[in-house]
Chain A
Amino acid sequence: MSWTKKILRVNLTEGSVNVEPLNMEWASQYIGQRGLATRYMFEETDPQCDALGPDNKLMFATGPLTGTMASTGGRYSVITKSPLTGAIACSNSGGFFGAELKSAGWDMIIFEGKSPSPVMLNIINDKVELLPADDLWGKSVWETDKLIHEKANDPQTRVAAVGRSAEAGCLYSAIINDLHRAAGRSGVGTVMASKNLKAVSVRGTKGVGNIKDPARFLASTSEQKQVLAENAVTGQGLPAMGTQVLMNVINEVGALPSRNMQDVQFSEANNISAEAMLEPRESDGKANLTTNAACFGCTIACGRISTIDKTHFSVENKPEYWGNSGGLEYEAAWAMGADTGVGDLDALTYTNFICNEDGMDPITFGATVAAAMELFEKGAITTEHTGGMELKFGSAEALTWCVDVVATGEGFGADLGLGSKRLCEKFGDPDLSMTVKGQEFPAYDPRGIQGMGLTYATSNRGACHLRSYTVASEVLGIPEKTDPLVTDGKAGLVKAFQDATAAVDSMGLCVFTTFAWTLDNMAPQIDAACEGDWTVDRLLEAGERIWNLEREYNNRAGLTGADDTLPPRLLKDAAKTGPAEGKVCGLDEMLPEYYGLRGWTTDGQLTDDVRQKFSLPA
């Protein structure tokens, strides 16, 4: 139980909507959400299909704890084949959309084919219909959300939509729900737009009542909420400062990449930090941060709600951006700030607003701008390409111009929308792309935090911090302190984080709970909610199974061990300052051990023993 045991299959080519039972055998092996949808992808798609063609599928998937009383149980993911990486994509989002979908009675939606004209899916419990969306095409996410709400006349309708960037073919477009929560990475929004699917709106009033043992579930979730409340990170640190508190920490340890990862520290880090977001402005005495915010069922509330200084150049004639909206998280602030050398908090907040308004992944966007700035400084990109804009490191004007043109895909915005890998190839210097498998790094330099190098190199969706957050251990000592500058022991650490995180995602919980919880805190909750005996060992086994199936999908898509690498800059150019000065990332010292721990071949292929151990499909 706790699964609704029903999925929606929407054939966009035919315009049909059908109801199917959830495959419960797969649910028992892959839990839900990320894991279960990967199983469906593996069964139903050719891993070598064109990510932007009708043969790719797009799956919105909840977990068994989504929509329940479990803290943070509001997550859903979008699973598809990524146009940015060619690998399996799974982009996880919070807000309220996922819980609403579950409350409407659905575990998953599978979109297949391609609609001949723009459409949206409207779900009101069991009433599900494809509607024309010609009037929404060409609109931003925010306009789309507004128009859908006006028609629905129900403020509790939840909307997930793509913006103009996705329509224009930007390869890192996100799906935005609830105005500023994002299934952000790997271009899942680009896939959605390629199917002429503009939006999904959902209203669910059924609730999630099919709990196996309600009394035990109530007791367990209450007990574990108390653990979150009493933990200094989840009870105090994250709600007060958000993830942005890391800006100064990572800068101090010398792992804050700057100027397209040429440097590992940024002199203006404090100007764009959580601490800076609390400072009153000269113009109106208000701070950038208005308040914190929580997603459905979350008792941590790390989200940021911010305003931009009305006198700032980016918005001085744009009153539509003077109000409160989704503020900066650490990864976005790093990519658009430290990595581009821009230390202007208001410029970053504006850029963040536009990434939400028109649906772009701010990490890939910021890192792509950083690569473009380096290409500009080397003379490969000129003002002739940009129409006059000088893409200099540190230029807030250039950054905000870039976000405006990527949002619409106009002019040089189409080049920036390619992501840094294709951009750097186009302008003749592919080594300047700071990517793995075509996806840009997040905010930790693997020369200063060695485990993150292995994390990035082996992530199944390209460079990503959310697949194995060894920063917790290497920098902050959770669950135990390890030395960030050594490679010894990191293979095991990365594997443990990868397997556990796959299980957390697949339950429908937020990975931020793991700052206070381990699987020991989660197993009693899912066991009380769901049929079958859910133990820590079973969750870990499922997590490892999910990791291996994602890898198998990627191998069949054509990726190999040769793709488990890092850009030359991180392997050959030593860090110039800070504790990591003189260090490169020792990936070669970690990767063979990692393959061994996984039971893979020396070139990163699954073995029959592994397939058999986890009962992977043929």
Chain B
Amino acid sequence: MKITVKFFSSLMEYLPANASDNSIELNEAVAVSPLQIIDRYKIPHNEVRTMMKNGTFLPEEDRHVSLEDGDVLTVWPAIQGG
């Protein structure tokens, strides 16, 4: 199961050395959830604010639900702009 994971803004520091374009490609043998991924990369939960799955906002209550083949998970700290 292939999953693309992207960490942006201050969460870039948690990317592994082989990341490219803020992005890493995972090849998972078993199901994995967004929360399990941020734990794998040792990102403190209080630093994570916005998560998106395939560009759609992922509410906190859905972050334990396993990702599917081809999903793109993007993760940000608290951000705003304008």
Contact = CB atoms under 8 A, between A and B. Distances in A.
Do they bind each other? yes
Given A240-B10, A275-B9, 4 more contacts: A233-B78, A238-B80, A245-B8, A481-B59
A253 interface: yes
Contact of B80 (A233, A253, A275, A331): A233
Contact of B8 (A232, A253, A275, A469): A275
Contacts of B12: 275
A15 interface: no
19 contacts: A231-B78, A236-B10, A236-B78, A237-B80, A241-B9, A241-B79, A243-B81, A245-B9, A245-B81, A248-B8, A249-B76, A274-B9, A275-B22, A331-B82, A466-B82, A469-B82, A476-B79, A481-B57, A579-B54
Interface in B56-82: 56-57, 59, 72, 74, 76-82
Interface in A220-249: 231-234, 236-238, 240-246, 248-249
A248 B81 contact: no
Q: Kindly list the 5 A-B residue pairs having the minimum CB-CB distance in the complex, ordered from nearest.
A: A232-B78, A243-B81, A246-B81, A579-B55, A515-B80
A506 to B, nearest CB: 18
Given A237-B9, A245-B8, A477 B77 contact: no
Nearest to B20: A270
A244 B81 contact: yes
A471 interface: yes
Interface residues of A, number: 39
A532 interface: no
B26 to A, nearest CB: 17
A491 B56 CA distance: 22
Interface residues of B, number: 24
A111 interface: no
Contacts of A240: 9-10
Contacts of A578: 55
Contacts of A274: 9
B52 interface: yes
A413 interface: no
A298 to B, nearest CB: 15
B2 interface: no
A249 B8 contact: yes
Nearest to A269: B21
A417 B13 CA distance: 43
Interface in A441-489: 465-466, 469, 471-472, 475-478, 481
A14 B21 CA distance: 60
B40 to A, nearest CB: 21
Contacts of A579: 54-56
Interface string B14-50: 0000000110000000000000000000000000011
Contacts of B57: 253, 475, 477, 481
Contacts of B6: 248, 252
Nearest to B50: A476
Contacts of A330: 81-82
A241 B82 contact: no
Contacts of B21: 270
